[in-house]
Amino acid sequence: MENGSFRTVDDQVIMRLRDRICDTPDRMLTSALFLRIIKQYIAGLSRKQSRLLNIFPNPRAITDEDIHLLVEALRYLIKLPVDLIPRIIPEAEVFFTDKELFFDFIEQFYNYWRHLHRLIICDSAGNSFDQRPYRTFNGTLETLMHVVRSTYRDIQENVSGKHPRIYRQVAAGAQVGTIALPKNIPYPDAYRKLNNISVIRQVLIYPPMIFDSTTNKRKGVFERVYQNPVGNLDINKNDWLCYPAKVGPLLIMTYFNVKLFELGFALSNLFEVANDEDLKKKPDAIYMYGTPDTMMPISDTSDTVFFDDEENGILTSTVPMRDEFGYFGYLKKMILTLHNIKIMKMGRLPFHGAMFNITVRDKGSYTVMIIGDSGAGKSESLEALRTIAGDDIEDLTIIADDMGSIEIDPDSGKILGYGTETGAFVRMDDLQPGFAFGQIDRAIIMNASQVNARVVLPITTYDEVMHGYSVDFVLYANNYEAVDDHHPTLERFDSDTAALNVFEEGRVMSKGTTATSGIVHNYFANIFGPPQYKEKHQELAKKYFKQFFDQGLYVGQFRTQLGIAGKEHSGPEEAAKHLLNLLKNI
């Protein structure tokens, strides 16, 4: 790598570029990064006492000289058949005593490189990387991919003397690339030090991006504290990147430690990245994900905390760098908590749920809001509706998949609905069979072989999120009651008091998406802001629910049965069918 730096941490490779990447095989093989990677590979083989090390003269005592000699041999193997190498480097003949073993050594080295999690950061403030992002990505990620792949193929062909009959065009360079530049964000003075951290302007991902996080569940709540957790942070700018997330109408500056870059860049499938105009205004909130674990705790009961800096009109939050917090839910839900708090301060009512606009053939367009806790069946019912719709549905637009807000139009009194995310973070087990794999060319998949396997998929646009649709249906997602003669799939409430009782109780059968189990009760099915500002939320909820009934909205509950054994797929599908029939017969 030229005119840049790199670091390797466990199974990660993070490359920072200020000019260009190695653009020829010879430059790559003579780079410091290549030497670091091959040494790591050999060290791993030594720990396993692998037979592949028998290419060396003394497999149990491999020296730096041995490795440098191997690298020198590889430089010639790019261009020459293996039989000619000993004529140029006589000492290298030992490597080729068993050509099949050497072939396997190279094959496994290539696999080792591809197994690593690889990130390229283009971060030179003096270059216009973000003005021509395609050219930047083409000159970095695409170049590295072609150089690595062609080097591997040339070496293997010169060792085996054969050309492959099948070529697989795998992403052999970096998995993720970003253009990230310092920006002068108009922070209050107390937060100016954050402007040393590069802000993400563009992202390139080679999907599917598949990885395991250090945990697969979120637990606990985000606690309000009364000491600013960001105030005394000691920040090394090279340890951080900022994803400036547009969350509904808000700008939330989400800083993540580069050691957590897979989780950080998964945000690009979930939230719109702010443009230069957005960055000219003061952010609404700051989130630091992956702060040093040596930081003195601010709370005795929680390490996932936020602070309401009323003096500066900004919210701040932190989650420490610890394996127990290495789950995407800690990123997403803290961001949405900050959104909900700020939205309440603006006089809007936040909701935890799904919202969509559906156009029924020969009937018209309706906007449906389904409120419910994690695992209640909101997203699953929506996917089922999309699957069964057929010709009855002319259009289905996602407004919110998990969190959003509503406001009362001051002129018409109508309830207008907004979303937060342009993507969805959903359980793979609860999707329609094959759905995730049908979208795999855009997917970020986490913990695929574990309970609560998840996929992050783009599902809508920011324009739709912010359109402001007039709401017609407000439903509570009930996943714990079986449908029978006394408990219909759709049940309408006759008063705002009856509706508020159900929504406030927030009952749900836990689906294993968090550390809870069985029937749980969460205020308004939303632990992300409303309980911490309960008095404010109750005031808003009474006002909005009265307006629902004054405006003649359909307010009821929607039994998805997702929490009932054996109904994980059929329950949301039955619920979707009943909702579709209701819309068709209005």
Q: How many CA atoms lie within 13 A of 143 on its CB side?
A: 17
How many Cβ atoms from other residues are within 10 Å of residue 382's Cβ?
A: 25
SS3 annotation, 342-362: HHHHCCCEEEEEEEEEEEECC
Written as six digits, the tokens of 10 are 């466990």
Backbone angles phi, psi at 258, to 5 degrees: -65, -20
Closest by CA to 399, choosing from 353, 363, 444, is 353
Structural domain boundaries in the chain: 2-176, 207-345, 349-422+459-584
Closest by CA to 368, choosing from 263, 474, 463, is 474
How remote is the C-alpha of 377 from its chain's centroid?
21
C-alpha span between 195 and 222 (Å, rounded): 26
Q: Which pLDDT score, from 0 to 100, does residue 159 have?
A: 96
- Integer-rounded Cα Rg, in Å, for the chain is 27
Q: Which residue has the tokens 């003949």?
A: 93
Which residues sit opposite 8 in a β-bridge? Answer: 13
C-alpha span between 315 and 307 (Å, rounded): 6
Cα dist from 82 to 28, 88, 93, whole Å: 20, 11, 9
- Do 67 and 29 touch, CB atoms closer than 8 A? no
Length of the chain (residues): 586
Cα dist from 273 to 144, 159, 258, 279, whole Å: 25, 46, 18, 10
Which positions ≥6 away from 36 have C-beta within 8 Å? Answer: 6, 8
C-alpha span between 257 and 9 (Å, rounded): 12
C-alpha span between 39 and 47 (Å, rounded): 12
C-alpha span between 454 and 328 (Å, rounded): 9
pLDDT tens, the chain, 586 aa long? 455 689 998 899 999 987 678 889 999 999 999 999 999 999 999 999 999 999 999 999 999 999 999 999 999 999 999 999 999 999 999 999 999 999 999 999 999 999 999 999 987 655 555 566 767 787 788 899 999 999 999 999 999 999 888 988 888 999 999 999 999 999 999 999 999 999 999 999 998 899 999 999 988 889 999 999 998 888 899 999 999 999 999 999 999 999 999 999 999 999 999 999 999 999 999 999 999 976 656 777 789 999 999 999 999 999 999 999 999 999 999 999 999 999 999 999 999 999 999 999 888 999 999 999 888 888 788 778 878 877 888 898 999 989 999 999 999 999 999 999 999 898 877 666 656 566 778 899 999 889 889 999 998 999 999 999 999 999 999 999 999 999 999 999 999 999 999 999 999 988 655 556 688 999 999 999 999 999 999 999 999 999 999 999 999 999 999 989 898 889 999 999 999 999 988 8
Q: Which pLDDT score, from 0 to 100, does residue 516 have?
A: 61
Q: Which helix (H) or strand (E) element contains residue 427? A: strand 423-427
Q: Is 209 exposed, middle or buried (0-12, 13-18, 19+ CB in 10 A)?
A: buried
Predicted TM-score (pTM) of the model is 0.91
Q: Which helix (H) or strand (E) element contains residue 289? A: strand 285-291
How many Cβ atoms from other residues are within 10 Å of residue 532's Cβ?
A: 20
Closest by CA to 504, choosing from 488, 493, 513, is 493
Domain 349-422+459-584 indexed as CATH 3.40.50.2000: no
Residue 178 is classified by DSSP as: E
Written as six digits, the tokens of 517 are 């189990």
Three-state SS for 578?
helix
